[in-house]
Amino acid sequence: MTIQTGDEVAQASGNFSIRTVLHNAGIGLALLALILFFSIFTEHFLTANNITNILTQVTINLILAVGMTFVILIGGIDLSVGSVMAFASVIAGKAITLAGLGPFEAIVLAVIAATAVGVVCGAINGTITARWSLPSFIITLGMLNIARGAALQASNAQTIYSFPLAFEDFGSAMFYGVPVVFMVALALVFIAWFILNFTVFGRLLYGIGNNEEAVRLAGHSVYRYKIAAFTICGLTAGIAAVVYMARLNISSPIAGIGFELNAIAAVIIGGTSLNGGRGSVIGTLIGAFIIGVLANGLILIGLSDFMRQMITGVVIIIAVILDYYRAKYTRR
Amino acid sequence: MPAQSLFEAPVADTDQVFLDVQGVKKYFGGVKALDGVSFSLKQGEVHALVGENGAGKSTLIKILSGVYSFDSGNISLENTSYQPESPQEAKARGIQVVHQEFNLLEHLSIAENISIERLPRNKYGLLNKGEMNRRAREALDAIGLTDIDVRVPVGSLGIAHRQLIEIARALQSKSQILILDEPTATLTERETKRLFKIIAAIKSEGVTVVFVSHHLDEVFAICDRVTVFRNGKTVATDKISHMTPEGVVQRMVGRHLEAGTRQHTDKQTFGPVALQIDAMRTMQNTGDTGISLNLHYGEIVGIAGLVGSGRSEILRGIFGIDPIHSGTVYRDGEEVNFKGPQDAIKAGIGFVTEDRKDEGLILDMPIAANTSLVNIHELSKTGLIQFTEENRQARESGSRLKLKYGKTADPASSLSGGNQQKVVLAKWLACNPKVLLLDEPTRGVDVGAKAEIYSILKDLAQEGVALLVVSSEMPELMTLADRIVVLAEHAIQGELKPSEFSEENILKLAYGQAQPGEGHTS
């Protein structure tokens, strides 16, 4: 790889450089304002314990939202991630509790099983969507039901538990107060950021989201890239399943109900356009934190969970309205 | 031959001017769309509007139907000023348009489509289906479509019937003036005859019909008067009996028929055949002969023809976008079967598409990213984007094509039309094509940039690239091409050598009137 000056990288890569920076700064400021607000008005918000709490709570949504960013960037949506996560956790749970496995083998097997389930479900979503040019909304809605049913069927609607201790240790491990699982999520954000900004693959995903026909006529297989985006989304659902199991030490066929909506919300609040082609995974990171901080802070401030839900809804709508104006003023 | 009007009864010779358009001008930004249009309609006549693509017919129709406003001039309807603010107002004044593009709702029934503007309600405010179906029946009967059930969805009808449904809808509200914008473009001959009967019937009821058509034989068959447009102006209005098809073509083109700005010598030597297509037909090609064409290295072949004559379809077929139904494509003498653009690109073919906003550019992306869109894999072999290389390529092609831009990181949308088109060109030149297909390479490009693009294309030919250029602008083809192939109705009507280049010759072939027996005769 040739050495580039920072300026050159920012100039050429920066998917719509200045615009993205400004926008990310904008929602970054919104997040800072929230943190400031809750720090002033609640006693416990800015304590080490609570911060660890927030990081833990944000983790699964962040992992799902990273994958969701890929799908939304190409103008799609994946409603199945919550169910796929549950299905992956059930299959992994069955694998992990197989008799006669050492703890290490069991964990490796579980990780392989969960990610494989995620990848397969995502690839199916992508293949069907791309092959017949169908709306991903409806295909993944179908997958939502299929995966949920499969999870219930495979587990006989029972929760699976008694995993190896090492697994639990991983789920609750801390590194200077930062949950290790959160660091996994952060690593995924970094990898996604790298892929989207520095690889041909990422470039063409943005291209497809902006103008699919132009990318197709330039001789690229739009079909394959679409499948890849959905597969990545499925993969993150599989990874989320592993984290879920490690944290709670169970596999539940009814896990993850509604998680897809939180993931989509994080992506949209983070400034990625539902029409595709515009946005960034850094925005998604901030979006996931806005949701997490709101959830945590509003409860600390004494609001009910119902009120929290209402306010999260309002934030989503405001984010989309802001996006409308941003698109209007940043385009010529 | 000054064809006789089908209609024996001449125009009511009261010479009652019904609609009068005087000196209407219309600008879009700095672009003149209409530059002084004057003509009049008499009650109960069939009046043809003819002119090349972009001569201003459609703009005038949009003004009359209330879609656009006009900037200066006067229009009066029945001696009162007429300045419709909206299509609704135009309709209220009795002006109905049947557009080229259909405005039907496919999943609704014929009856619902016909009544969509004023759906009848019963006393509870609910849709009165009986009344709706009865009205639709009446409307269809009025144009002789007695054999069609008004309850079937429009989507189940063929294209010709949809056209007639549009006409029925337009006539259903009391219209004074019915404007038909290229109504026969999609019709077969039999259906066209049926349409003509309907027009005759409408006319006999005192409705004025404005008939826009590229087919002069139709104009001479059914119209009473004709107005010719050229470059946004009306250049002639006369009774059809005072005109000849040749005269109309001459007026469309202008009196000074220039034989092209570049005089070739006919004899020029080119390289071997780069691309050969043999009786190729795509899905859209309704003709039965298909298209056969040879393209040599170092040669620029122009494809002329009216909109809808199947020009772009040739390029799309060669490039593997539209599947080829029958016929063969040879590249360097070897039969090829492209499954998609990627195969064509591998075979050294590039395609500068017609619509840069929809097919050519990713407007939000940097200029550099657009320039590398085709060859990005070669540019970044590891899968990681080589930004330095990419920028270098963008800067190099920028200076080669005299691109006016700020930074290579600026979005393509920041460029002017001409410069955007250069970026599309740069994208294809980046992968060194041996054969370059171009569809309207200078549409929406200003004069200066046009000349630059021409010289780039000629340089490419000089370097041995084979170019196939589709264009609606005849001067463009005459400037660029070593040979012009003229299409009509998805078939090659003839081929012109540089010494034969003239707008008149092209149009004669395009309108199918070159020699008796050639083209379509009615």
DSSP string for B199-242: HHHHHHTT-EEEEE-S-HHHHHHH-SEEEEEETTEEEEEEEGGG
For residues A71 and A228, give the distance between their C-alpha atoms in angstroms, rounded to a whole number: 9
- Between chain A and chain B, how many beta carbons pairs sit less than 8 Å apart? 107
pLDDT at B335: 94
pLDDT at B513: 59
Domain extent for A165: 42-330
pLDDT digits (tens, 9 = 90+) for B338-359: 999 999 999 999 999 887 777 8
B245 and B180 co-located in one domain: yes
Identify which has the larger pLDDT, A90 or A106.
A90
Q: What is the mean pLDDT of residues B90-101?
A: 84
Indicate if the pLDDT at residue B103 is higher than 90: no
In a domain, residue B204? The reply is yes
Identify which has the larger pLDDT, A283 or B171.
A283
pLDDT at B230: 86
Nearest CB to A17; choose among B319, B409, B413: B409
Q: Mind telling me how many Å the CA of A15 is from chain B's nearest CA?
A: 7
pLDDT digits (tens, 9 = 90+) for B53-77: 667 888 899 899 888 889 899 999 8
Identify which has the larger pLDDT, A3 or B67.
B67
Spatial CA neighbour of A2 closest among B217, B285, B387:
B387
pTM of the full structure: 0.77
In a domain, residue A29? The reply is no
Q: Provide residues of B within 8 Å CB-CB of chain A.
A: 319, 321, 340-342, 344-346, 351, 353, 358-366, 368-369, 373-374, 376-377, 380, 382-391, 407-409, 411, 413-414, 427
In a domain, residue B80? The reply is yes
Indicate if the pLDDT at residue A239 is higher than 90: yes
Q: Mind telling me how many Å the CA of A279 is from chain B's nearest CA?
A: 12
pLDDT at B15: 61
Please list the residues that pair with B21 across neighbouring strands: B39, B75
B443 and B500 co-located in one domain: yes
For CA atoms A253, A257, A261, A263, give the dihedral sign: negative
| Residues of A whose CB is below 8 A from B361 | 211, 214
B367 and B506 co-located in one domain: no
- Amino acid found at B144: G
A200 contacts B377? CB cut-off 8 A: yes
pLDDT digits (tens, 9 = 90+) for A125-178: 999 999 999 999 999 999 999 999 999 999 999 999 888 888 888 888 899 889
Indicate if the pLDDT at residue B259 is higher than 50: no
B127 and B223 co-located in one domain: no
In a domain, residue A23? The reply is no
B391 contacts A218? CB cut-off 8 A: no
In a domain, residue A239? The reply is yes
| Residues of A whose CB is below 8 A from B385 | 12-13, 198-200, 203
Find the range with the poorest average confidence among A297-301, B219-223, B283-287: B283-287
| Residues of B whose CB is below 8 A from A2 | 386, 388-389
Region of A75 (left: φ > 0; alpha: ψ -120 to 50; beta: rest) is left
Instruction: Give the chain A residue whose CA is nearest to the CA of B354.
Output: A214
Identify which has the larger pLDDT, A67 or B326.
A67
pLDDT at B470: 94
Identify which has the larger pLDDT, B210 or B195.
B210
Indicate if the pLDDT at residue A186 is higher than 80: yes
Tokens of A28: 């970054």
Indicate if the pLDDT at residue B312 is higher than 70: yes
Q: Which of A13, A17, A200 has the highest number of chain B CBs within 10 A, making it the mutation to test binding with B?
A: A200
| Residues of B whose CB is below 8 A from A8 | 387-388, 391
pLDDT at A20: 55
Count of structural domains within chain A: 1
Q: What is the mean pLDDT of residues A261-271?
A: 93
B32 and B89 co-located in one domain: yes
Place of tokens 């149009």: B507
pLDDT digits (tens, 9 = 90+) for B387-409: 999 999 999 999 988 888 888 99
B296 and B330 co-located in one domain: yes
B447 and B499 co-located in one domain: yes
Report the CATH number that the domain containing residue B464 is assigned in CATH.
Answer: 3.40.50.300
Indicate if the pLDDT at residue B21 is higher than 50: yes
Q: What is the mean pLDDT of residues B31-53?
A: 87
For residues B83 and B376, give the distance between their C-alpha atoms in angstroms, rounded to a whole number: 53
B43 and B71 co-located in one domain: yes
Q: What is the mean pLDDT of residues A251-265?
A: 94
For residues A113 and B147, give the distance between their C-alpha atoms in angstroms, rounded to a whole number: 64
B411 contacts A214? CB cut-off 8 A: no
Domain boundary among B172, B199, B219: B172
pLDDT digits (tens, 9 = 90+) for A19-44: 555 556 678 888 999 999 999 999 88
Averaged pLDDT score across all residues of chain A: 89
In a domain, residue B263? The reply is yes
Region of B439 (left: φ > 0; alpha: ψ -120 to 50; beta: rest) is beta
B386 and B447 co-located in one domain: no
Q: Mind telling me how many Å the CA of B429 is from chain A's nearest CA?
A: 12
Indicate if the pLDDT at residue A13 is higher than 80: no
pLDDT digits (tens, 9 = 90+) for B230-253: 888 898 899 998 988 888 888 887
pLDDT at A157: 93
- In chain B, % helix, strand, coil (3-state, to 5) comes to 35, 25, 40
Indicate if the pLDDT at residue A230 is higher than 50: yes
In a domain, residue A233? The reply is yes
pLDDT at A168: 84
Domain boundary among B149, B172, B195: B172
pLDDT digits (tens, 9 = 90+) for B399-435: 988 888 888 998 898 887 788 889 999 999 998 999 9
Indicate if the pLDDT at residue B5 is higher than 50: no
Q: Mind telling me how many Å the CA of A320 is from chain B's nearest CA?
A: 19
For residues B91 and B114, give the distance between their C-alpha atoms in angstroms, rounded to a whole number: 14
Scored b (16 or more CB within 10 A) or e, A298-327 reads: bebeeeeeeebeeebeebbeebeebbeebe
B517 and B369 co-located in one domain: no
Domain extent for B229: 14-94+174-256
Q: What is the mean pLDDT of residues A304-321?
A: 87
Strands (DSSP E) found in B203-343: 208-212, 225-230, 233-239, 273-282, 291-296, 300-305, 324-331, 334-336
Indicate if the pLDDT at residue B331 is higher than 90: yes
Q: What is the DSSP letter of B290?
A: -
Q: Yes or no: say if A157 and A253 are a contact pair by the CB < 8 Å rule.
A: yes
pLDDT digits (tens, 9 = 90+) for A62-94: 999 999 999 999 999 999 999 999 999 999 999
Q: Quote the crossing angle between the two packed helices A222-248 and A103-131, to the nearest 10°.
A: 150
In a domain, residue B192? The reply is yes
Indicate if the pLDDT at residue B447 is higher than 80: no
B363 and B330 co-located in one domain: no
B82 and B142 co-located in one domain: no
Q: What is the DSSP letter of B44?
A: T
pLDDT at B282: 83
Q: What is the DSSP letter of B3?
A: P
In a domain, residue B8? The reply is no
pLDDT at B104: 83
| Residues of A whose CB is below 8 A from B407 | 11
Domain boundary among B406, B432, B458: B432
Q: What torsion, rounded to 10 degrees, do the Cα atoms B10, B15, B19, B23 define? A: 110
Count of structural domains within chain B: 4
pLDDT at B214: 76
Indicate if the pLDDT at residue B38 is higher than 70: yes
Spatial CA neighbour of B368 closest among B379, B357, B382, B359:
B379
In a domain, residue A20? The reply is no
pLDDT at B8: 43
| Residues of A whose CB is below 8 A from B358 | 211, 213-214
pLDDT at A3: 39
pLDDT at B258: 40
